[in-house]
Structure 1
Amino acid sequence: MKYVVATLEEIAPGDRKIVEVAGRSIGIFNVSGELFALRNRCPHQGAPLCQGSLWGTVTASVPGQIEYTPGGEILSCPHHGWEFHIRTGQSWCDPGRLRVGGYRVDVESGKDLLEDDAPDAAGPGGEAPAGRVKGPYVAETIPVTIEGHYVVLDVA
């Protein structure tokens, strides 16, 4: 089922908005103009994951030559600092014990809202951020679309 949760202007690049939809707290993130949504619950003691800090990535081609790439794609839990990649929900800290759900995000026109059957949520994808070791768990992501000037979540 689709839910209108914001206007596009309400979530500027680098910002987030936390909403309650179908009994779930969900964080919507604007990463350089792309929208992603994650369940607002860290698997360790239920911390409000989406209230955590956003980071870029750190790489080092050789010891001592550290390079920080901003981008705000790494979300760290506000309670214990465990990290998740916003685009995929993939865990990046203590991967043997972490798991949180994520949802797929799409951009559609307003008329497609009435005509289109939403596809099933996709699994994790993409490459690992530089300098990170991929863990076996994936955060719960939620499909997000932009329909006209509205941000819409597709929550099953």
Structure 2
Amino acid sequence: MALYEAAAEADVPEGGRVIVTLEGRSIGVYRIDGEYYAIHNYCPHEGAELCKGHIHGTTLPSNVAEFEYGREGQIVRCPWHGWEFDIKSGRSLFSDKVRTRSYKVEVLGGMVYVAIGKD
């Protein structure tokens, strides 16, 4: 697996993202609570640029007629049809079978690197 320079740490705002192209792949690099995550900028539903979607939280398990909101800044919503994905894992919120690719991230010397290739 090769590491590719994606961005300087300072270029990825806390709670935000940058979208980069590495090895012909569009990838969103996110910063959540000081940690970095990377997912494929492609919604598996219809191919929208997923990482251009709104970053937000979601409702958590709760009692009937109660709504508990949480995971703020950890969910991205596809800008076309609203499909939601966990930024940390790439998993969809609605099905265990649907996901977008997630990439390992390393920070070295103030730069954020994304690992691409076989493990």
Question: TM-score, normalising length from structure 1?
Answer: 0.69
User: Do the aligned partners of residues 66 and 60 (structure 1) sit closer, same or farther apart at CA in structure 2, a change above 3 Å counting?
Assistant: farther
Q: RMSD over aligned Cα, in angstroms? A: 1.5
**Counterpart residue type for residue 23 of structure 1:** G
| Deviation string, structure 1 residues 6-62 (Cα, Å, up to 9, x no partner) | 111111210100000000000001111111100001112210001111121213532
TM-fit CA distance, 1:2? 1.7
Counting only pairs closer than 5 Å after superposition, residues 36-75 of structure 1 correspond to structure 2 as 36-59=37-60, 61-75=62-76
Identity percentage over the alignment? Answer: 37
**Counterpart residue type for residue 27 of structure 2:** I
2:97 aligned with 1:136: yes
Question: Which one has the bigger strand percentage?
Answer: 2
Match in the other structure for 1:18: 19
Match in the other structure for 2:90: 89
Structure 1 residue runs of 5 or longer lacking an equivalent are 96-134
Structure 2 residue runs of 5 or longer lacking an equivalent are none
Question: TM-score, normalising length from structure 2?
Answer: 0.88
Q: Distance in 2 between matches of 1:2 and 1:61?
A: 41
| Deviation string, structure 1 residues 72-131 (Cα, Å, up to 9, x no partner) | 1111111000111111111123x3xxxxxxxxxxxxxxxxxxxxxxxxxxxxxxxxxxxx
Q: Is the 8 A contact 1:25 1:40 kept in 2?
A: yes
Q: Distance in 1 between matches of 2:7 and 2:49?
A: 20
